[in-house]
Structures are given as C-alpha cells and as structure tokens.
Amino acid sequence: MEQVISNTAKIKQINVELVKEALIELKYGTKQSISNETGLSVATCGNILNELVESGEVIEVDLEQPSGGRPARRFIYNANFRYVAGIYVSDKEGINKITYAVTNLVGEMIEENSIILDDISYESIVSLIGKLIERYEIIKAIGIGVPAVVYEGAIVGNCDIKELSNLPLQKQLEELFPIEIIVENDMNLQALGFYRKQNFHTNKSIAIINFPKDNCIGSGIIVDGHIIKGNTNFAGEVSYLPLGLSQEDLIKELEKSDQFLQLAVKIITSIITVINPATIVLTGELIKSDMMGDLISACLKIVPEKHMPEITVRENIHDDYINGLVSVTIESLACDVQLVKKRI
C-alpha cells in the first residue's frame, strides 16, 4: 500500500511540473491549452492550477474572451514566486573572486555582483549565502560552481581553491541552510550554459576546453544534449591525457609559445576523435584569437576535414557560466529534471 501511495504522489508531482513547464512555455494559458500542451486531462490541469493559484506560484489573470460561449480562465506562471542564487569561485592570476547571481524562476536577473577577497574559504561561502538569504527570503535553491572534480556534492581531491580541497561542501551547507544546495564542476556548467544559449533544434555534441595560466587545463563535454560526467565525475579532466608530462610540467610547457600549439592540438584532436563534436569552444588566458589559423591547420593534418568541428575562441566565459549555474539550480527545484525544458 505504501508503494502505491508513493507512486501516486510521484505521478502527481510530475504532473504538477508538466503544468508549470507548459505555463512557462506558453507565457499564459487556459486549462484547455495546458491540457493540449501536456497531454493531461482538462480536469487534472484544472485541479493542479487551482492548487498552484492557492499557493501563489500561478496567478489567475483576466478571462479570455472567446467568440462565443463562456469566457475561459487564464493563468500565468509567477516567476517571482521563488528565487535561486548561483555562486562560483575563481582564482585567476592571484585574484580570489566570488561571483554570484540571484534570479527568478525563469532566469531573469535580480542581482549580480563579484567580490574580491584576500582568500576564498568555506567560511566566506557561508557568509555570502547567509547574506543573500537574509536579503532575499524567497531564495529556495543555491548552486555553487567550483574548479574541481565534484562527486555527490563533495569536492574530490585537490581544488584550484586550496581551502576547498576534499570538502563535503553540499552536505555541510545543507546542514546550515534549509534550502536546496547544488555543487557542480565549473567546466560542466560552462559547457551547459554555452549549449543552452545556442538553441539547437536537435541534440548536438559540444566541448569547452579551458587553457588557464598557471593552472591545469580542463574541459566540459556535452554529448547529444547531456553533460558527460563519467562514473566518478572525472570526465573532462584532460590534464590527465597521456601527453608524456606530469600536470606540473604540462602547466609549464603550455606557457611556452613553441610548445603550446603542439600540446593544444593533441588535446583538441583527442576530444574530436572521442565525441565527434559539432563545436569546440576554447577559452582561458593562454588562448588567443590570432592562434586559430595555425591551430585549425594543425588539427586538419590529423582529423579529416569532414569530421572537423567549428572551433571558436571565447575570451569571457562568465555569461555561459552563470547561465549554466542558474539553469541547473532552477532545475533542482523540479521533482524530475528530465521533464525540465530549456528555460534560459
């Protein structure tokens, strides 16, 4: 009996998410139009809409005036019913920075800012979250992006921000704050943010490769519309490719102009041959637009032209990072992220 009740509750949750997604997609809707969009019965849609209106997550607006018959009730999704926050930490060229954004449930920006600190620690993240929740009481989920391997919400091994290495970040924050907490790898979020902005009509495969100064290279990979994390979320850690160099030596060699091209080509072509992407985005302090001609020519000596992806340089990845971060944080509030459509 408990299993039946559980399944019934889950089905209702899924139906509620379908109705909300339909309203977001339609901008406004009637019971009939939402039924057409979701495949649910008009009666089911009406019951769900009544509950959502009562909670404040959906707003009933002026009646739709048909050419004949009784006016139909109209509804819109209340995007400001809750807020989410996205936070990412970075350490570039000795500058320790925490960047954050607060948005509503359709990704509309409420506040965005960056804070430069002497150092970034667990305590500085806790302090910022506390201030944001105090300022916006309706924040119900927070996503955090970190330059590290993340497995089940915990930072595994070394993080570019040394104070965060080997930290069960999600678990510790959830013990302090009664809201949804998401922790994710920075490159995965950047890849997702870039991918969502392209509005592909069919699922594509793309990759972002970061060539930072004084740090390990990394990548975010999306195959057929899905982030590839791997068995232990190690996918994309391209600094471990068998290039005949330790990570420390690879960092040094990439900063030598006569070695960068050779090493970058090996990394790029490795990704091309494994996932055959439509697009590869290169970012980081070491990559420059004027390198692209030589880089593509060198790749074409290895990869047949018909299999070469579009390769572009993105000097500032901030917008993609925030986009991906906010997107997964909004989706964390849904009962089944498989149902969530593109919102941003």
Distance of CA 175 to the CA centre of its chain: 23
Q: Is residue 24 part of a domain?
A: yes
Cα-flanking dihedrals φ and ψ of residue 93, to 5°?
50, 40
Count structural domains, the chain.
3
How do residues 252-267 score in pLDDT, each as one tens digit?
999 998 899 999 999 9
Average pLDDT, stretch 137-161? Answer: 92
Residue that finishes a domain, picked among 31, 52, 77: 77
CATH number of the domain residue 33 falls in:
1.10.10.10
CATH number of the domain residue 92 falls in:
3.30.420.40
104 and 175 in a single domain? The answer is yes
Residue that finishes a domain, picked among 77, 104, 135: 77
Q: What is the mean pLDDT of the chain?
A: 90
How do residues 65-86 score in pLDDT, each as one tens digit?
665 566 778 999 999 999 999 9
Question: What local confidence, expressed as pLDDT, does residue 99 receive?
Answer: 97
Residue 342: pLDDT over 60: no
94 and 69 in a single domain? The answer is no
Residue 320: pLDDT over 90: yes
How do residues 284-305 score in pLDDT, each as one tens digit?
999 989 999 999 999 999 999 9
- Sheet of 180-185: strand order equals 109-117, 95-104, 83-92, 139-146, 180-185
- Read off the tokens for 117: 């600190």
Average pLDDT, stretch 34-58? Answer: 92
62 and 120 in a single domain? The answer is no
Q: Is residue 31 part of a domain?
A: yes
Cα-flanking dihedrals φ and ψ of residue 239, to 5°?
-70, -10
49 and 127 in a single domain? The answer is no
Q: DSSP per residue over 147-158, as a string? A: SSEEETTEEES-
Question: What local confidence, expressed as pLDDT, does residue 28 receive?
Answer: 84
| Radius of gyration of the chain from its Cα atoms, rounded to whole angstroms | 23
Residue 336: pLDDT over 70: no
Choose among 161, 210, 216: nearest CA to 317. Answer: 210
18 and 108 in a single domain? The answer is no
175 CB-near residues (< 8 Å, 6+ apart): none
Name the more confident of 6 and 141: 141
d(Cα 158, Cα 149) in Å, to the nearest integer?
Answer: 8
Distance of CA 303 to the CA centre of its chain: 30
d(Cα 147, Cα 33) in Å, to the nearest integer?
Answer: 44
Quick one: pLDDT band at residue 335, thresholds 50, 70, 90? low
Average pLDDT, stretch 193-206? Answer: 91
Question: What local confidence, expressed as pLDDT, does residue 93 receive?
Answer: 74
Range(s) of the domain holding residue 26: 2-77
Question: What local confidence, expressed as pLDDT, does residue 340 receive?
Answer: 44
Residue that finishes a domain, picked among 158, 189, 220: 189
129 and 221 in a single domain? The answer is no
Q: Is residue 331 part of a domain?
A: no
Question: What local confidence, expressed as pLDDT, does residue 2 receive?
Answer: 52
253 and 314 in a single domain? The answer is yes
Average pLDDT, stretch 306-310? Answer: 97
314 and 203 in a single domain? The answer is yes
Q: DSSP per residue over 82-139, as a string? A: SEEEEEEEEEETTEEEEEEEEEETT--EEEEEEEEES---HHHHHHHHHHHHHH-TTE
Average pLDDT, stretch 55-66? Answer: 81
Average pLDDT, stretch 162-182? Answer: 94
Average pLDDT, stretch 32-51? Answer: 92
pTM: 0.88
Residue 331: pLDDT over 80: yes
Question: What local confidence, expressed as pLDDT, does residue 343 receive?
Answer: 39
Choose among 254, 226, 225: nearest CA to 238. Answer: 254
Q: Is residue 286 part of a domain?
A: yes
Q: Is residue 276 part of a domain?
A: yes
19 CB-near residues (< 8 Å, 6+ apart): 34, 38, 40, 45, 48, 49, 52
161 and 258 in a single domain? The answer is no
pLDDT above 70 as % of the chain: 93
Gap between the terminal Cα atoms of the chain: 40
Average pLDDT, stretch 99-121? Answer: 95
Q: With contact defined as beta carbons under 8 Å apart, do 22 and 38 qualify?
A: yes
Residue 240: pLDDT over 70: yes
Q: With contact defined as beta carbons under 8 Å apart, do 172 and 211 qualify?
A: no
Average pLDDT, stretch 205-221? Answer: 94
Residue 338: pLDDT over 50: no
Average pLDDT, stretch 264-271? Answer: 97
pLDDT above 90 as % of the chain: 75
Question: What local confidence, expressed as pLDDT, does residue 69 receive?
Answer: 61
Question: What local confidence, expressed as pLDDT, does residue 26 receive?
Answer: 87
Q: With contact defined as beta carbons under 8 Å apart, do 160 and 91 qualify?
A: yes
171 and 100 in a single domain? The answer is yes
- Read off the tokens for 133: 């929740």
238 and 280 in a single domain? The answer is yes
d(Cα 295, Cα 260) in Å, to the nearest integer?
Answer: 10
Q: Is residue 71 part of a domain?
A: yes
Q: Is residue 8 part of a domain?
A: yes
Cα-flanking dihedrals φ and ψ of residue 27, to 5°?
75, -50
Q: Is residue 136 part of a domain?
A: yes
Question: What local confidence, expressed as pLDDT, does residue 204 receive?
Answer: 92
180 and 208 in a single domain? The answer is no
Average pLDDT, stretch 198-203? Answer: 86
